[in-house]
Structure 1
């Protein structure tokens, strides 16, 4: 796999997750948007609204690309061609990890946003399944495309 690939898969997965979170937030009238929550916490610490907004989105996508890299390394080491099953497994595991991370962040932040934690964490688990499915299927399609290109190059020799 090429070096930029985790960024592609991470961006696809994070975009799908973010769309899911914004749709759930709008339908439930809750504050479930990860980039906005991150931005709110940064703004409460820095008092810099624009910096906080940019930081929230940057942290969200950076974490998504980092997680995509980890997933791809696991799939590479286990010689697994990622698909729906691997996306579901990665989604549950990353969702549980994400819940733990958010719990720690909310616990240690001096003024965390007021959100309904139990409903947020349930949403977060589902959002990570959406994220991981996006990463798995993007990684699979990218890997298959690279294989086809390689076969085509061999046949033309």
Structure 2
């Protein structure tokens, strides 16, 4: 993988993760719920027995959020690069739905393994999460395509 492609993936993932996060923060404010992925990742870290400071857990929550975004875009890139799927709006929406389902299942597992679940509307969160991942994938596609 050359530097140009790596930058394409990194920039696409940063923009897409940021757009998704803005959407989640907007829905959180509108619904008066905590649907913010970095905040919920920090919550999960607080409920585990990891012996690090609260500030480090907040930073780690944000870092993990962006790393996960990078990994999703890396998978999209590989599927596009090896021409398993075309680079298109339709495929980006499909990626968003699949990524959203993966995200929902992952959060269900995370919430099951911690001793105390957050006090949120889980159905609302999962609906928001699916939409957020569609926005993520479409944003990723739009930025990725600029590099072609």
Report if TM-score (shorter chain) is over 0.5. yes
Deviation readout 1:40-87 (Å, 9 max, x if unpaired):
221233472201110110000000001000001001111655232121
Higher relative contact order (CA 8 A, sep 6+): 2
Structure 2 residue runs without a partner (length 5+): none
SS class of match (2:6): coil
Kept in 1: contact 2:103–2:129 (CA 8 A): yes
Matched length: 143
**Aligned residue number for residue 135 of structure 1:** 140
Deviation readout 1:11-50 (Å, 9 max, x if unpaired):
1110000000000000110110000011122123347220
Kept in 2: contact 1:31–1:115 (CA 8 A): yes
Instruction: Give the TM-score taking structure 2 as reference length.
Output: 0.90
Are 1:34 and 2:37 matched, yes or no? yes
Deviation at 1:93, TM superposition (A): 0.6
Structure 2 counterpart of 1:21, from 21, 24, 27: 24
Are 1:126 and 2:115 matched, yes or no? no
Output the aligned Cα RMSD: 1.5
Structure 1 counterpart of 2:58, from 53, 61, 69: 53
Structure 1 residue runs without a partner (length 5+): 144-157
Cα distance between partner residues in 2 of 1:103 and 1:134: 25
Cα distance between partner residues in 2 of 1:135 and 1:81: 14
SS class of match (1:104): helix
Larger Rg: 1
Deviation readout 1:84-124 (Å, 9 max, x if unpaired):
21211100010011101111111111223121111110000
Cα distance between partner residues in 1 of 2:61 and 2:117: 14
